[in-house]
Amino acid sequence: MLIIFIGPPGSGKGTQAERICTRLDIAHLSTGDMLRAAIEAETELGSQAAAYMQRGELVPDQLVVEMVGESLGRANSSSGCLLDGFPRSLPQAEALDGLLQREGKQLSQVIELDVPDEELVQRLLARKRPDDTSETIQNRLQVYQQQTRPLLDYYQQRGLLESVRGSGTMEEVEERIQAVLPTRD
Ligand code: AP5
């Protein structure tokens, strides 16, 4: 089982990924969490990524793809994996295709979480992460529209996309996701 969550900042990818991964007993790979851990650990990757994240821009594809390639390799033995926040650009999606092809694996499903912008901004301002300032949030929303949203077409054309309304309580959203999840292969 290999699932991707796509959605704008604050749409609940991380919140729902934790719930679904616990329920399905699959690995949760969040590129945002991995990058924040790299910054915290003061690694070379962390020092390269920090300024991009602070501005709300995407970290360069090459750095992120390398990081995900290593993590996917490590997650290989588990019963599956949910990618939260990756891919976020067409080059990343193509790189993921290559990684999966080499390992003889296939995507099971791509789930879009759809939430109106006003609600996203309210959620993020209430959270107060370092990149949750008004200016950075606006930039993250714009980056989502320009660089990540085109992936919806990419996966729609392959019959892999399910869109889920991400407003409502966390439990309601989880139920909607549950309803569109593929049966285990
Ligand atoms: P990342 O950490 O992935 O941030 P993001 O995509 O901006 O998403 P968020 O974590 O803000 O939101 P979320 O959708 O996970 O929602 P959450 O569950 O947290 O990436 C951060 C940065 O890292 C990027 O800007 C980029 O620089 C870099 N990066 C990461 N991946 C990259 C990649 N692939 N390529 C290049 N760069 C990359 O919820 C948000 C808030 O809402 C929480 O407070 C939560 O409690 C609340 N909430 C959740 N659900 C609900 C609900 N139903 N009702 C009310 N509140 C809710």
In sequence order, the 6+-apart residues with CB closer than 8 A to the CB of 146 are none
Q: With a cut of 70, say whether residue 77 has pLDDT above it.
A: no
Q: Which residues line ligand 1 (CB under 6 A)?
A: 7, 9-15, 31-32, 35, 52-53, 56-59, 64, 85-86, 88, 92, 123-124, 127, 131, 140, 168-170, 173
Ligand 1 pocket, mutate which of 16, 59, 129, 177 (most atoms under 8 A from CB): 59
| CA proximity to 2, closest of 69, 61, 84 | 84
Q: Is 123 a catalytic residue?
A: no
Q: Is 13 a catalytic residue?
A: yes
Q: Is 127 a catalytic residue?
A: yes
| CA proximity to 48, closest of 65, 66, 60 | 60
Beta bridge partners of 83: 4, 29
Lowest-confidence pick of 69-83, 109-123, 143-157, 161-175: 69-83
Q: Give dist(CA 169, CA 100) in Å, integer.
A: 34
User: Phi and psi (nearest 5°) for 7?
Assistant: 180, 160
Q: Are 29 and 84 in contact (CB under 8 A)?
A: yes
Model confidence pLDDT, tens digit, residues 150-183: 999 999 999 999 999 999 999 999 999 999 998 8
Q: Are 112 and 161 in contact (CB under 8 A)?
A: yes
Q: Are 7 and 86 in contact (CB under 8 A)?
A: no
